[in-house]
Structure 1
Amino acid sequence: MKTLTANEVKNLLEQEEELNIVDVREDDEVAQGMIPGAKHIPLGSIETRANELDSSKEYIMVCRSGGRSGRATQLLEEKGYDVTNMEGGMMSWEGPTK
């Protein structure tokens, strides 16, 4: 499984890299703030909503601490998606939130 730290993701965003970030936390967690531009698909819906993701793009998966996003990363990898897990999740995020 490919991984990036929260700081690496923040640096890529600051360099204005076009990132496709998917936040797999629950609604109440996302209400507390998420990375600007991230798409919200709760982990429990990721299998049924995977068709909303473009299989030709790379995705960075995010959750609270990195565990759920790791499961989402594995699931999507098995379906042929190019995905990376953000280690440490939002608990490690020091960038802006919306």
Structure 2
Amino acid sequence: MKHITTDEIVNLLDANEDLNIIDVREDFEVENGMIPGAVHIPLGSIPEKVSELDPSKEYILVCQGGVRSANACEYLEAQGFNVTNLEGGMMSYDGELEFK
């Protein structure tokens, strides 16, 4: 499984890179803010939403601490997707937040 650090993702966001970020946390968790541009798909909804994802794109998955997003990465990798897990999740992320 590929990993990205919070410093790396902040640098990519600062460089205006086009990132496909999926936040797999629960609704009550994303109320505290998400990485700008992230799409919210709770972990339990990933199997039913997988058909909405583009297999030609690379996705970065994030959760609160990095464990649930790692589980989502394993599932999506098995489906043929190119995914990367954000190490440490939102607990390690100190960049800009977006509130939805």
Under TM normalisation by the shorter chain, which class is it?
over 0.9
Aligned match of 2:25 = 25
Give % identity: 59
Once the two structures are superposed, residues 21-42 of structure 1 have per-residue CA deviations (whole angstroms, 9 ceiling, x without a partner) of: 0000000000110001000000
One-letter amino acid of the structure 1 residue matched with residue 31 of structure 2 = A
CA RMSD of aligned residues (A): 0.5
Q: Distance in 2 between matches of 1:52 and 1:13?
A: 23
Q: CA deviation at 1:6?
A: 1.0
Q: Distance in 2 between matches of 1:87 and 1:19?
A: 16
Once the two structures are superposed, residues 27-75 of structure 1 have per-residue CA deviations (whole angstroms, 9 ceiling, x without a partner) of: 0000110001000000001011111111100000000000000000000
Aligned match of 1:56 = 56
Aligned match of 1:3 = 3
TM-score, normalized by length of structure 2? 0.96
Q: Hey, which bits of structure 1, 4+ residues long, moved more than 3 A?
A: none
Aligned residues: 98
TM-score, normalized by length of structure 1? 0.98
Q: CA deviation at 1:4?
A: 0.4
Question: What stretches of structure 1 of length at least 5 have no aligned partner?
Answer: none
